[in-house]
Amino acid sequence: MDEVAQHGDMKRRVWLTYNQGVYDITDFVKKHPGGSAIMMGAGGSADPFWDLYAVHKEEHVLKLLEQYRIGNVRPDEVGSHRAGMTDDPWAAEPRRHPALRPSARTPFNAEPPPALLADNFLTPNDLFYVRNHLPVPTVEPATYELEVDGLGVRGLSLSLDQLKKNFKPVTVTATIMCAGNRRSEMSAVKAVRGLSWGHAAVGNATWTGARLSDVLRAAGLEGDAAAPGRHVCFEGLDTDPSNTPYGASVPLEVATDPRRDIILAYEMNGQPLSRDHGFPVRAIVPGVVGARNVKWLGRISVSAEESTSHWQRSDYKGFNPSVDWDTVDFSKAPAIQELPVNSAICWPASGDTVKVKDGTVALKGYAWSGGGRRVVRVDVSADGGATWHEACLTATEPTAPAGRCWSWCLWSGRVPVPAGAQTAQLWVKATDASYNTQPESVKNIWNLRGVLSNAYHRVDVKLKRV
């Protein structure tokens, strides 16, 4: 390990260790998707950082690493280099409901069984999908402070009590969907990089908090300061080993528009936020991808440029199906904000045996569109799209003003199946108020990060005639 420590920069070449292996990664540093963060392990061990960013432990990453292996740590030193380097970053993780199905445990990412979603217009807090990028921070409400600063504001620091008492509380019903929802369907076409989400990385809840526009006004932001081209950057209290927080941003004109209903939420479904969902305060940006709804909010800053966070600049962007990891340029694509129309069948599940009654089978699910666009129709088919049948919208938010329908709708229906068939493939597609509808093919919207997966949802079932 003394020899490894002598190779901590590009001039002397960059070595690091992982488990017992020693790797010369000098020629890989410029190719690292996470940029210069890889240098945090230079001249030492990558283990604590890879424990934090468990995505590194995927098979294709480990194979890539082996290309740079130059030897092994002495047997008597294996493991000793980890002592005292870092505490277990996952030791204080909260307890989770056993019904959640993890796609990763560190950081914790999990979704509920899809059938549970279709039973509740408001997703129960304990069953709401969890998307964490870093360890869950432990925040003491008595000492919590939210900092507001940047261009055109005089600066403001708010305690949790001040946020609750000094600003009118607003309650918004809004769906949050992960950009990677339904990624596993893209992976079935061709491998992508990212968590293997099913179709339940989505949930609907009522959120209560202070309007972001009110807080920015209290911080001194004037109407003429909301100039085009500026951004509101959110920083979380969750940090990586270099003390860099999770961050994201939205355009300032969006943040200052009270009709966008962006709030700094401290309650979810009438209860204080849980730790997994951002306690004590998180941003709720209705109609926008979940990645911009920053949890454990510690700072809001008005900036001349969008957030410099990795997750704003180098992730959560879409590309055409022919772009691969050798040709991708994240700087050429805009960050995902509003999500496209989407829907899914929550029941039955693929492989289920369903009863055929009067030549039809029952099915149910959810549909949602970003940007406040109401879902106006859900169509289902069991004959490969030869015929379509309109489902019933069973749960909606009927009083939401036009362009401000932030919540999903639940739907159910029955669809005729081909006579004599023993199996069927059920299809669903939704149409929103702008008459946007879902594309038919996953193949034609495939992208290397597996985001924006909104093709027709399909479920294969067995038929039992009664």
Over residues 138-159, the pLDDT tens digits come to 999 999 999 999 999 999 999 9
> Residue 291: what pLDDT?
98
- pLDDT of residue 83 exceeding 50, the answer is no
Of the pLDDT bands very low, low, confident and very high (cuts 50, 70, 90), residue 98 is confident
Question: pLDDT tens digits, residue range 360-373?
Answer: 999 999 999 999 99
Cα gap 229→254, rounded to integer Å: 11
Cα gap 160→253, rounded to integer Å: 26
| Mean pLDDT of all residues in 295-305 | 97
Residues taking part in catalysis: 32, 56, 131, 178, 316
- pLDDT of residue 48 exceeding 80, the answer is no
> Residue 113: what pLDDT?
93
For residue 137, CA distances in Å to 282, 328, 356 come to 13, 33, 50
DSSP per-residue string spanning 130-184:
EE-SSPPP---TTT-EEEEEETT---EEEEHHHHHHSS-EEEEEEEEE-TTTTHH
Q: What is the mean pLDDT of the chain?
A: 93
Per the omega criterion (within 30 degrees of 0), is the bond before 348 cis?
A: yes
- pLDDT of residue 58 exceeding 90, the answer is no
What percent of the chain shows pLDDT beyond 90?
A: 82
Closest to 31 in 3D by CA, of 311, 240, 314: 314
Model pTM score: 0.88
For residue 427, CA distances in Å to 127, 203, 380, 393, 441 come to 26, 21, 5, 16, 12
Cα gap 359→123, rounded to integer Å: 32
- pLDDT of residue 459 exceeding 90, the answer is yes
Q: Is 259 helix (H, G, I), strand (E, B) or coil?
A: helix
- pLDDT of residue 462 exceeding 50, the answer is yes
| Mean pLDDT of all residues in 425-432 | 98
Mind listing the domains of the chain with CATH numbers? 2-82 (3.10.120.10), 102-332 (3.90.420.10), 342-465 (2.60.40.650)
Judge contact between 369 and 375, C-beta under 8 A.
yes
- pLDDT of residue 298 exceeding 90, the answer is yes
Which of 5-19, 187-201, 328-342, 421-435 is predicted with the least confidence, judged by mean pLDDT?
Answer: 5-19
Cα gap 117→447, rounded to integer Å: 27
